Amino acid sequence: MAGGAEARVGIYYCPREDDPLFAAGAAWLGRDPFLGCPVAQPALPGIEEVTADARGYGFHATLKPPFRLAPGMTWAALMAAVDGLAGELEPFDLPRLSVQDVHGFLALRETEASAPLRALADSCVERLDRFRAPPSEAELARRRRSNLSPAHEAMLTRWGYPYVFEEWFFHMTLTRRLAAEAHAVWRPEAERFFAAAVAMPRRVTDICLFTQSGPGAAFAIAERVALRG
């Protein structure tokens, strides 16, 4: 993993490059996270601005949030652990997705609960945690500005992130937080844009390692690891 001590890696779900949902997500956000290049966005006034934050992270759903490698841990060791975990987990059907409001953000979320999806996220958080360097005091302070609940504070303290395990939910972010007026404009646009892609059935067949070379750099797909259980 390039980038030195400040590089980060996140364990994500991302549709495969030949899935129309991958192309739709890359176009909506304006960047292909596999090739690392810009993609022409839909001709919608303001879309570049409302997708700017999500663009840097790439089209994805978080399984284990981004982290720096702990001292003494290596990329090769992390890859071996991810490969071992993936070898124990079976591919599974992803429930149909839809555009939904997530605390003011627009995101693709599943339309019904998925036990295998939650088990995948929980396994990534727990089984790979020994590779995670503790968050800095600045990172902790930034998280705590959100007035975390006691449950979220406990998760932050133990796992370095407030929204894991029972506090986790699947989402593929599409916009920044929107005011009500903007939400009324962008939700139907997103629903129209993603309608064909989300109507197709799909399976979760692998997990992705997205890497960030340093603060402010865009995340990109570094590896895909097949589920083989």
Between β-strands 97-102 and 92-94, what pairing exists: parallel, antiparallel or unpaired? Answer: unpaired
Order of strands across the sheet that contains 220-226: 61-67, 8-13, 206-212, 220-226
pLDDT value of residue 139: 82
What does the alpha-carbon distance between residue 64 and residue 127 come to, in Å, rounded to a whole number? Answer: 10
> In one letter, which amino acid is 201?
P
Split into its structural domains, the chain has a count of: 1
Check: CB of residue 220 under 8 Å from CB of residue 58: yes
Cα-Cα end-to-end distance for the chain: 26
Give the contacts of 229 (CB within 8 A, at least 6 positions apart). 86, 87, 88, 89, 90
pLDDT value of residue 159: 92
pLDDT value of residue 2: 56
Which residue numbers in the chain have pLDDT < 50?
none
Check: CB of residue 217 under 8 Å from CB of residue 3: yes
Phi and psi (nearest 5°) for 207?
Answer: -120, 155
Check: CB of residue 201 under 8 Å from CB of residue 213: no
Locus of tokens 């059935």: 201
Tell me the three-class secondary structure of 200-211, residue by residue: CCEEECEEEEEE
Map residue 187 onto helix, strand or coil: helix
What does the alpha-carbon distance between residue 174 and residue 41 come to, in Å, rounded to a whole number? Answer: 12
Q: What is the CATH number of the domain that holds 153?
A: 3.90.1140.10
Domain that holds residue 189: 4-226
Half-sphere exposure (CA, 13 Å, Cβ side) for 208? 21
What does the alpha-carbon distance between residue 11 and residue 207 come to, in Å, rounded to a whole number? Answer: 7
Q: What is the pLDDT of residues 159-198, one digit of tens each?
A: 988 889 999 999 999 999 999 999 999 999 999 999 999 9
pLDDT value of residue 199: 97
pLDDT value of residue 57: 95
